[in-house]
Amino acid sequence: MTPGHPLDLSVYLVTDAGLCGERGVADVVSEAVAGGVSIVQLRDKHATSEQLLVQLAELARVIDGRAAFVVNDRLDAVLAARRRGIRVDGVHLGQGDAAVLEARAALGPDAIVGLTANTPAHLAAVAELPPGTVTYLGVGVIRPTPTKLDHPPALGIDGFAEIAAATGLPCVAIGGVGLADVAELRRADAAGVAVVSAICAAPDPSAAAREFADGWAAAAPMPTGGRGRAEPVKGMPGVPRVLSIAGSDPSGGAGIQADLKSISALGGYGMAAIAALTAQNTRGVRSVHVPPAAFLAEQLDAISDDIDIDAVKIGMLANADVIDAVASWLRRVRPPVVVLDPVMVATSGDRLLDLDAERALRSLLPLADLVTPNIAELAVLAETEPATAWTGIVAQAEVVSAGYGVRVLAKGGHLDGATVPDALVDAVNATIVEFSGDRIETTATHGTGCSLSSAIATLRISLGGWEPAVDEARRWLRESLRHGEELHVGGGHGPVHHFAGLWSRGGIATAPTASEVEAAWWGEIAELRARIDSLPFVRGLADGTLPPDVFEEYLAQDAHYLRSYSRVLAEASRLAPEAPEQAFWAACAQHCLDGELEHHHDRLGDPGVDPVRPNAVNTAYLDHLVASAARGGYAELIAAVLPCFWIYDDLGRRLIAGDLGPAARSPEHPYADWLAMYGDPAFEITTRQAIDTVMAVASRSTPEVRGRMLRAFRRSAECELAFFAFHAAPGCRT
């Protein structure tokens, strides 16, 4: 199993020599892997150790890394094979086989250790194990099967679903599984289907495997983000609907009160299901009342029965029953984004949850996309002592991220020091992104964690990515921290000022409308546009005196630019938080390749061959676009791509209208086809849609994001000027 690459359990072949018949196991396995089997388990209850070793060597050669490879029961055989350099990825153990802890210790952290589990007692035992001990669970039998005569009682697909819903580990369904079960098992949250006879006894194992693989793919849920949930979907364009599931803090600084303020301050629509009532103020918590878990479940169902939820933020959950109710609801509703703030340790250091609740909270982790523990909570999740240095915090975050398959926001705020580091740790994708900022000296820190996690949940929807969401949420929280003491709330640790960024002189500064932003941005580059009009290149284009070889050089550079620009547009499509914008940017990327390169083709020959190396201005422009995507996510990227539409459309229409000289109106003009392309009404429509799309995002973004978008927009306009200026300048043909 390649570290950092998620294990594909979708089509799981368990071998049976008897059922393979004369073809032999090796031939069936080779065919089945070619057909789409993703993991193979050698299961031979009768082979001696030596015989098993021979089979292992042969199957490892046949599989050749095209699928994962494990052995049933025999940890000793895996170890013996590894000593001989035979590639075996792990072992599958039954309840009575070698202990999983022994297997994990012997095979190391990257091996596959599968475990049979069919009952809640089995799951309870698994939950006691250190994170990362078990890779997946084999759950069955679905129905009676003659292949394993001592099989446990049949669960049926519903029984399987209950087991799968009660654990955060991937579950493979096994026992009497046929092709007709695949779709329903996938909908029951199976991580894969394990079969013996359906493939081993098939006349064509490769075709049988392909049918299972196709059936599995066809049953895939909506285009998925992250952990198999649908991409964030919006109702009113641009208003993220965010649900907080947390406790109530009547003093308004933390809990659902802080969540609703944070969600609203960042442009979302906040909802709240109350998991606990507290009597508290800025000096501490006096008492906690926990309504029955069933009532929380009713609140959650009432919301999800009626409202599409874009993101969920989970805060204080006081006991195991409440946690289990949330887990069950999450598995049924599967919100697109789940942020878990694991409230487990009080500021005083007191543990807030009993052991049952702590264990239940661990089972919640794999259902979340991001978990935001403080230092003490991280240590509890990593089952170790609190780190005292930043490197230790990051290391523990990696352990939790890898163990539970969840992103971890490692927070260094409780460390000493002049700066406050945070890190977004994603062991599944092997990325760590660090953020830093000067420490803000204030006593108004109550509810900081709650506010940050609900802000991230909201911004993950509106900005379309985790990194920009964390980056922007941190910027907003720092502004809120800076102004918290102005509220003069309480004598203890007061709350942050959630609306500090929006209040000005006593009134809420309203966000600008899309048309106000459009006018502001177009005005922002008025001087640049005037300079473009006066460039020799543009004057020569207008009156037709531009030397042909200069125009050819410009076209060659433009062809190179457009080839990369189309990739940037495709990235905008990938980052787009909702389908219409995703489709629009994808169409623009396609048009950029088809229409404009075709135009260049008429003059430059095969567009597939890049005739020139990009000059300095071309390279600088493309570097800026790529950096915008990497740094700022969707919002910043679409602001950066806009000038290419807007400036060309404006210039093309004014040229063709004769505004820069009558010559450009003549059909005899030497560059009439170029003018016609950029003066084309269809390009004007596309440009208008691009402007509207960007302005809608800008108008609903926070002032900080809008500022970054404008800077990216202006930088691109400067690049457009430089691009035109480079051509027809002396020496431009070097």
Nearer to Mg ion, 94 or 540 (CB): 94
92 contributes a contact to ligand LCLJCK34 by CB under 6 A: yes
Q: How many helices (H) and strands (E) does the chain have?
A: 28, 21
Report the DSSP beta bridge partners of residue 339: 313, 370
72 contributes a contact to ligand LCLJCK34 by CB under 6 A: yes
Which of 192, 315, 447, 633 does the annotation list as catalytic?
Answer: 447
Among 197, 347, 590, 686, binds ligand TZP (CB under 6 A): 197
Report the partner that residue 708 touches, choosing among Mg ion, ligand LCLJCK34, ligand TZP, none (CB closer than 5 to 8 A by kind): none
- Cβ-based neighbours of 310, under 8 Å, separated by 6 or more: 232, 233, 234, 240, 241, 242, 335, 336, 337, 461
Calculate helix-pair angle for 514-524, 526-533, nearest 10 degrees: 50
Spatial separation of the C-alpha atoms in residues 2 and 428, rounded to whole Å: 11
Would residue 313 show up in a list of annotated catalytic residues for this protein?
A: no
Q: Is 210 annotated as a binding residue?
A: no
Spatial separation of the C-alpha atoms in residues 19 and 702, rounded to whole Å: 63
CB 256 within 8 A of CB 315: yes
Report the DSSP beta bridge partners of residue 247: 276
Calculate helix-pair angle for 703-726, 526-533, nearest 10 degrees: 10
Report the DSSP beta bridge partners of residue 284: 281
Structure tokens at 216: 């599995």
Written as one string, the DSSP assignment of 249-265 is -TTSSSHHHHHHHHHHH
Would residue 588 show up in a list of annotated catalytic residues for this protein?
A: no
Least distance (Å) between residue 123 CB and ligand LCLJCK34: 14
Point out which span in 21-29, 173-181, 272-280, 532-540 binds ligand TZP (CB under 6 A).
173-181
Point out which span in 159-167, 196-204, 567-575, 709-717 binds ligand TZP (CB under 6 A).
196-204
Among 93, 103, 174, 402, binds ligand TZP (CB under 6 A): 174
Point out which span in 89-97, 316-324, 482-490, 637-645 binds ligand LCLJCK34 (CB under 6 A).
89-97
CB 310 within 8 A of CB 232: yes
148 contributes a contact to ligand TZP by CB under 6 A: yes
Would residue 449 show up in a list of annotated catalytic residues for this protein?
A: yes
Nearer to ligand TZP, 154 or 620 (CB): 154
Only one residue has tokens 């005005």, namely: 523
Structure tokens at 388: 């005292």
Which of 20, 171, 200, 450 does the annotation list as catalytic?
Answer: 450
Nearer to ligand LCLJCK34, 135 or 451 (CB): 135
Report the partner that residue 147 touches, choosing among ligand TZP, Mg ion, ligand LCLJCK34, none (CB closer than 5 to 8 A by kind): ligand TZP
Amino acid at 603: R
Least distance (Å) between residue 130 CB and ligand LCLJCK34: 22
CB 441 within 8 A of CB 248: no
Q: 481-485, long-range: CB within 8 Å, 24+ apart, which pairs?
A: 481/440, 481/442, 481/444, 481/445, 481/448, 482/440, 482/442, 484/442, 484/444, 484/445, 485/442, 485/443, 485/444
Query: Cα dihedral sign for 217, 218, 221, 223?
Result: positive
Among 19, 43, 514, 702, binds ligand LCLJCK34 (CB under 6 A): 43
Among 62, 77, 177, 322, binds ligand TZP (CB under 6 A): 177
Nearer to Mg ion, 73 or 358 (CB): 73
141 contributes a contact to ligand TZP by CB under 6 A: yes
Least distance (Å) between residue 150 CB and ligand TZP: 9
- Cβ-based neighbours of 584, under 8 Å, separated by 6 or more: 573, 576, 689, 690, 693
Would residue 411 show up in a list of annotated catalytic residues for this protein?
A: yes
Nearer to ligand TZP, 143 or 714 (CB): 143
Nearer to ligand TZP, 148 or 460 (CB): 148
| Cβ atoms < 10 Å from Cβ of 520 | 14
194 contributes a contact to ligand LCLJCK34 by CB under 6 A: yes
Q: Is 44 annotated as a binding residue?
A: yes
CB 273 within 8 A of CB 300: yes
Would residue 447 show up in a list of annotated catalytic residues for this protein?
A: yes
Least distance (Å) between residue 641 CB and ligand TZP: 52
Calculate helix-pair angle for 703-726, 536-543, nearest 10 degrees: 70
Footprint of ligand LCLJCK34 on residues 13-32 (CB under 6 A)? Answer: 14
Taking only Cα atoms into account, the Rg of the chain, rounded to an integer number of angstroms, comes to 30
Least distance (Å) between residue 26 CB and ligand LCLJCK34: 19
Q: Is 197 annotated as a binding residue?
A: yes
Query: Cα dihedral sign for 41, 47, 49, 52?
Result: negative
Would residue 140 show up in a list of annotated catalytic residues for this protein?
A: no
94 contributes a contact to ligand LCLJCK34 by CB under 6 A: yes
Among 90, 175, 205, 405, binds ligand TZP (CB under 6 A): 175
Q: Is 73 annotated as a binding residue?
A: yes
Least distance (Å) between residue 95 CB and ligand LCLJCK34: 6
Spatial separation of the C-alpha atoms in residues 334 and 347, rounded to whole Å: 31
CA distances from 345 to 130, 279, 352, 381, 554 (A): 20, 17, 5, 11, 63
Which of 135, 411, 413, 588 does the annotation list as catalytic?
Answer: 411
Point out which span in 55-63, 83-91, 144-152, 233-241 binds ligand TZP (CB under 6 A).
144-152
Only one residue has tokens 């403080």, namely: 374
Q: Is 564 annotated as a binding residue?
A: no
694: helix, strand or coil? helix
| Cβ atoms < 10 Å from Cβ of 206 | 18
- Cβ-based neighbours of 534, under 8 Å, separated by 6 or more: none
Footprint of Mg ion on residues 76-105 (CB under 5 A)? Answer: 94, 97
199 contributes a contact to ligand LCLJCK34 by CB under 6 A: no
Spatial separation of the C-alpha atoms in residues 29 and 33, rounded to whole Å: 6
Q: Within 592-680, where are the H helices?
A: 597-604, 616-656, 672-678
Which of 347, 431, 445, 619 does the annotation list as catalytic?
Answer: 445
Nearer to ligand LCLJCK34, 44 or 571 (CB): 44
Report the partner that residue 41 touches, choosing among ligand TZP, Mg ion, ligand LCLJCK34, none (CB closer than 5 to 8 A by kind): ligand LCLJCK34
Nearer to Mg ion, 94 or 703 (CB): 94
73 contributes a contact to Mg ion by CB under 5 A: yes
The site map against ligand LCLJCK34 for 136-155 (x = CB under 6 A) is --x-x-------x-------
Nearer to Mg ion, 52 or 664 (CB): 52
182 contributes a contact to ligand TZP by CB under 6 A: no
Q: Is 97 annotated as a binding residue?
A: yes
Among 35, 140, 168, 405, binds ligand TZP (CB under 6 A): 140
176 contributes a contact to ligand TZP by CB under 6 A: yes
299 contributes a contact to ligand TZP by CB under 6 A: no
Query: Cα dihedral sign for 643, 648, 649, 653?
Result: positive
Which of 36, 449, 464, 632 does the annotation list as catalytic?
Answer: 449
Query: For ligand LCLJCK34, how many residues bind (rule: CB under 6 A)?
Result: 17
Fill in the DSSP letter of residue 73: S
Nearer to ligand TZP, 93 or 260 (CB): 93
Spatial separation of the C-alpha atoms in residues 458 and 700, rounded to whole Å: 12
- Cβ-based neighbours of 547, under 8 Å, separated by 6 or more: 540, 728
User: Which positions lie near ligand LCLJCK34, rule CB under 6 A?
Assistant: 12, 14, 41, 43, 72-73, 92, 94, 97, 114, 116, 138, 140, 148, 172, 174, 194
Q: Given the rule CB under 6 A, which residues bind ligand TZP?
A: 14, 43, 140-141, 145, 147-148, 151, 174-177, 195-198
Residues designated as active site: 411, 445, 447-450
- Residue list for the binding site: 41-45, 72-73, 97, 116, 145-148, 176, 196-197
Question: Using CB under 5 A as the criterion, which residues of the chain lie in contact with Mg ion when the complex forms?
Answer: 73, 94, 97
